[in-house]
Amino acid sequence: MPKRVDHSSRRATISDAVMRLLARDGLESISLRHVATEAGVSTGQVQHYFPSKDAMMEFATSTIADRIAARITAAGPDPDLHQILTALLPTDAESAADARILIGYLAFASVRPHIAEALATNGLAFRDHVASMITPHPDPTTAADTLLALLDGLALHVTIGQLSPERARVLLTAAIDGVRNDRRKALPD
């Protein structure tokens, strides 16, 4: 009788190996051989689920997006701007690993126009959502771009150890408060 393979379990094992390698060793560690070794399976099994490095990286970004969405959801049923943005800072081991993976993915996407385009589309949609949360404001799109660029920089600085998560949270809160003050100035008297 042929052996039954639990494909979802095997894919999860390989997927977890991809995520661990990205978080621990970075983008350069992603190859069929390295992933197979990390997962304890053959390179053929890895290639069955992920035929290329691009496929592994695309999987990683969808996993990170799901984890980020879960952190935002955990902020509450109707999170405000502060809750959403601070949920995206790397403040614990899991979110720090996700930040390292995301940084690697951004470098990967920067030299692959088709991936960069999809990433930019998603980023602009998130920016527009943030902008909708800070209206009325003299220029909500610019304010959202500024906050998200700051968030990216803070996440990078926390990841490399230049800033503590607590300091990054203080800086992000100050920037959000600044946007809120600008919004109040835009309100009619």
Q: Is the pLDDT of residue 5 over 80?
A: no
Q: Supply the range of the domain harboring residue 6.
A: 1-51
3-state secondary structure of 75: coil
**Whole-model pTM?**
0.83
pLDDT number for residue 30? 87
Q: Give the residue from 24, 23, 41, 43 showing the smallest Cα distance to 33.
A: 43
The share of the chain scoring above pLDDT 90, in percent, equals 48
Supply the CATH number for residue 167's domain.
1.10.357.10
Mean pLDDT of the chain: 89
Q: Are residues 167 and 85 in the same domain?
A: yes
In a domain, 60, yes or no: no
Helix (H) or strand (E) holding 82: helix 81-87
Most confident of 19-23, 86-90, 135-139, 164-168: 164-168
What angle separates helix 93-109 from helix 113-133, to the nearest 10 degrees?
Answer: 130
Q: Is 175 left (phi over 0), alpha (psi -120 to 50) or beta?
A: alpha
Q: Are residues 1 and 80 in the same domain?
A: no
pLDDT tens digit string along 91-141? 999 899 989 888 888 888 899 898 888 889 889 999 999 999 998 889 999
- Helices and strands (H, E) in the chain, number of each type: 9, 0
Supply the CATH number for residue 6's domain.
1.10.10.60
pLDDT number for residue 133? 93
Task: Tell me the pLDDT band of 186, cut-offs 50, 70 and 90.
Answer: low
Give me the mean pLDDT over the 13-42 stretch.
Answer: 90
In a domain, 173, yes or no: yes
Q: Considering its fold, how many domains does the chain have in total?
A: 2
